[in-house]
Amino acid sequence: MNTYSNSLFEWDSVKERINIQKHGIDFRTASNVFLDPIRIERFDWEHSQGEDRYITVGMVEKNLLVLNVVYTDRENTIRIISARKANKEEVRQYNEHSLL
């Protein structure tokens, strides 16, 4: 297993290739969602068996793309598990949240 790490973020490179094929989003782009000061974060109750998982929805690429990113926090390193374009409901929630 190859792992990318820059001390703030890490991910499995094989999983990233699969994610790119499935969703068209690379994990380096996905990591930019954490720069969005108004991103929405929540605990992923459904998929947190064995380790805590979180979901964040936020804007990347100069306000052109809203992403849904699933990750874990391992000793202050964010491990990205998956990333995709946010669906219509997630975009709506993000837009409502950004108006607060």
Residue 64's identity, in one-letter code, is L
pLDDT in tens, 51-74: 899 999 999 977 689 999 999 998
Average of per-residue pLDDT values in the chain: 90
Evaluate if pTM is beyond 0.75.
yes
If we measure between CA atoms, which residue out of 28, 24, 66, 72 comes closest to residue 48? 72
Q: What are the pLDDT digits (tens) for 26-47?
A: 999 999 999 999 999 999 998 8
Return the number of other C-beta atoms located less than 10 Å from residue 27's C-beta: 24
What is the number of other CB atoms lying within 10 angstroms of the CB of residue 84? 16
> H or E element: which one contains 72?
strand 65-74
pLDDT of residue 1: 47
Q: Is 8 helix (H, G, I), strand (E, B) or coil?
A: coil
The full set of domain ranges for the chain reads 3-98
What CATH number belongs to 3-98?
A: 3.10.450.530
* pLDDT for residue 6: 57
